[in-house]
Structure 1
Amino acid sequence: MPAGSSKKRERQYEHIRDSELESGKSEKRAKEIAARTVNKERARHGESKTSSRSSIHDTSSSRRGGQRSHSGSQGPTKEQLYNEAKQRNIHGRSKMNKKELADALGH
């Protein structure tokens, strides 16, 4: 935690770190996730000297609650769709864009 953090942010950091450890993350990864989350919340609430644009304007991590896990914000990438189309032997896949690949695969 950065120097000068409030007791609330320290508790938040510990809670997130412990939660990540319980879900099977390594100590190093759990600390990183907790620090990033707390720093983003500090920036959002004006508690830090510097902050990125995405920290302030993006959906808050507490509200987002895992919406972007696994599939990402826009689903599978074009490359992932192409590889799946290749495995299914879909003809014309090399000339398809992302939407066309998704439609051909039934996504």
Structure 2
Amino acid sequence: MPRGSKSKYTDKQKRQAEHIEDSYRERGVPQDEAEARAWATVNKMTGGGKKSGSGRGKEVDPSPARTGGKRAAPPRPGAARRNVAHRRRRLQKHAPAMPPPARQRSEAG
């Protein structure tokens, strides 16, 4: 079997890869890159081709399919930013001072 052949994949895996590839294309990823990422995702989810033998399947891990396209949290609204700054200033202002160093007892002889 030549490298890159998809003959050992099930129809479901092929459909999944096609759908994932379409999603990448919608996000503007080039065709070749989208196909490579799609098959990498299917391989990570299912452990590669599954066609030969019955009862040898493993549990499918859907988490790799959910990780794409995550964005950073949106910036906080103005009130929340001011509140964070206010709390920081208050903590600095009202933080307890360092206690004085412990005094050494002199031994009476």
Which one has the largest radius of gyration?
Answer: 2
Give the number of the structure with larger relative contact order, counting CA–CA contacts within 8 Å between residues 6 or more apart.
Answer: 2
With the shorter chain as reference, the TM-score category is 0.3 to 0.5
